[in-house]
Chains A and B, each alone.
Chain A
Amino acid sequence: MIGFEYARADSVADALRQMAVSPGAKFVAGGTNLVDLMKMDVERPAKLIDVSKLPLDQVEEIAGGGLRIGALVANSDLAYHPLVEQRYPVLSRALLAGASQQLRNMASVGGNLLQRTRCPYFYDLVTPCNKREQGAGCSAVGGLNRMNAILGTSESCIAVHPSDMCVALAVLEATVRVTGPRGERVIALSDFHRLPGDTPQRDTNLEGDELITSVELPARGFAANYTYLKIRDRLSYAFALVSVAVGLELEGGTIKQARFALGGVAHKPWRNARAEAALQGRAPDEAAFAAAADLMLHEARGFGHNTFKIDLARRAIVRALSQAARGTPQSQSNKKIA
């Protein structure tokens, strides 16, 4: 690990003040991803500003029936929060599908949003990676790419965003509240993560001197008809090959509103407005689900080792939409796929 300075922040204003005078600094909270990357010398911050003790650890109801989740709420605390379990169960399930309980106890909500890819070439300092070093080249496109993206890729990068939580946040249409030297702003979850394009070194639209303070959920939580289905190489404690978060509103035997998002297939949680709109007004049957899956994967492209993900995603979408429509969400402990 490269040496770095360390200082604690005692308020949000103090954190921003320290960042303003510390070029090359990073904020640290749970550290589960950042410390790992620092051990590998992939991340080399000159200074860590510890924000873990700031008072951003509350979950509170907000006007309009939504929920404000402090950026420092631990992933485990959020998963088991009564209001999340009752009103946003797809978020609870997605959180519990990610990592292990030890990591969920450490990891913050803000840090989960800022997770970096687990593409092996990103971690491997001796092979080129555009995300690590712009212009160096992508080793995954013609290399070992079984875990890599099939949607929204570019010639520069086929990395995927590894988060489960963010896939559920995409379905819930969350917003991210951030603050920085230019003031406070709110970023829609769908605009928070970027596609790689020719700037894959930038994962998100958060500026380096900005701090996430909270994530806000609108009132609609899809608590009756939802699922989080995660397909992976082992039953627990593994990143998704493909995951699907679903929220449906059913009325009189038809689908009134549908939201679904994929994880493990792109540089950001993947939604497709046409695929969702195609479900509107339809009976919740397999034909409708298959048509939505086809729209979702219309532009999917495999790179060899990961080409199987296209079929896997199609089947997972149909299965997940069926689970949600039936009101039988995937269990995160009994792994038999319902």
Chain B
Amino acid sequence: MTDQKSAPPVTFTVNGARHALALDPRSTLLDVLRDHLDLTGTKKGCDQGQCGACTVLVDGRRVLSCLTLAVMKDGATITTVEGLAKDGTPHPLQQAFIDHDAFQCGYCTPGQLCSAVGLIAEGKATTADEIRELMSGNICRCGAYPNIVAAIQQAMGQS
């Protein structure tokens, strides 16, 4: 890449695996996950912070990887959709999305899942209205929202 400037190295953990990387400081976390680490579950939607498809968990909190410069996440623990299942068993939210058919095309689903994991960890939503409000950063152009809310409610009941 032309125009590349210097930056200190960055080390972070993704889904339990440690990575030490030398990056162009322009690299977003989204592009590093997809293009450097081959973790293509995290999706590029709008690439400008308006759709939520790129949502991942950084140190347990949901953030937008498209607006995160990877060099700024030195020492972080990152979880992507690939890291949600344990030992071949889907995460309860993944199972709930299947049970409730909470998708159509599926493109927004990895972001919806990571966002909902963050939502449940935050513990601020109990009613359907509150789930909708606190999931408003994840757009579903197929309009699967009623089923997404139902799936999250099911997973919340289990946690």
Contacts and interface: CB of A to CB of B under 8 A. Distances in A.
Interface of A: 1-8, 28, 31-32, 35-36, 39-40, 48, 50, 52, 76, 80, 99-103, 105-106, 235-237, 332-334
B122 interface: yes
Given A2-B3, A31-B67, A99 B129 contact: no
B8 A7 contact: yes
Contacts, number: 101
Contacts of B25: 3-6, 48
A28 B3 CA distance: 20
B126 to A, nearest CB: 10
Nearest to A79: B124
B5 A100 contact: no
B91 interface: no
Contacts of A105: 61-63, 118
A333 B8 CA distance: 42
Contacts of B3: 2-3
B115 A102 contact: yes
Listed residue (A3, A32, A52, A332) with the most chain B CB atoms within 10 angstroms of its CB: A3
Contacts of A103: 49, 64, 67, 137
B147 interface: no
A39 B61 contact: no
Interface of B: 2-8, 24-26, 28, 47-49, 52, 55, 61-64, 67-69, 71-72, 74, 115, 118-119, 122, 124, 127, 129-130, 132-138
Given A333-B127, A333-B133, A6 B7 contact: yes
Listed residue (A3, A5, A100, A334) with the most chain B CB atoms within 10 angstroms of its CB: A100
Contacts of B71: 6, 50
A125 B134 CA distance: 33
27 contacts: A1-B26, A3-B24, A4-B25, A5-B6, A5-B7, A6-B5, A6-B6, A6-B7, A6-B8, A7-B8, A8-B8, A35-B69, A36-B48, A40-B48, A76-B61, A100-B136, A100-B137, A101-B115, A102-B55, A102-B137, A106-B63, A106-B64, A106-B67, A236-B136, A237-B136, A332-B133, A333-B132
Nearest to A97: B133
B137 A99 contact: yes
A4 B47 contact: no
A106 B133 CA distance: 18
Contact of A333 (B47, B69, B72, B129): B129
A220 B74 CA distance: 40
B114 to A, nearest CB: 9
A39 B47 contact: yes
A259 to B, nearest CB: 26
Nearest 4 A/B pairs, CB to CB: A100-B137, A236-B136, A3-B3, A6-B25
Contact of B67 (A2, A3, A35, A50): A35
Nearest to B47: A39
B58 to A, nearest CB: 8
Contacts of A102: 52, 55, 62-64, 115, 118, 137
A80 B69 contact: no
B72 A28 contact: yes
A31 B73 CA distance: 12
Given A3-B2, A7-B8, A76-B122, 15 more contacts: A3-B4, A3-B5, A3-B25, A6-B8, A28-B69, A35-B69, A39-B47, A101-B137, A102-B52, A102-B55, A105-B61, A105-B62, A105-B63, A106-B67, A106-B68
Listed residue (B47, B64, B118) with the most chain A CB atoms within 10 angstroms of its CB: B64
A80 B123 CA distance: 11
Nearest to B129: A333
B146 to A, nearest CB: 15
Nearest to A30: B67
B137 A237 contact: yes
A23 to B, nearest CB: 15
A88 B138 CA distance: 28
A334 B126 CA distance: 13
B68 A31 contact: yes
Contacts of A39: 47-48
A3 B124 CA distance: 40
Contacts of A40: 48
A202 B28 CA distance: 28
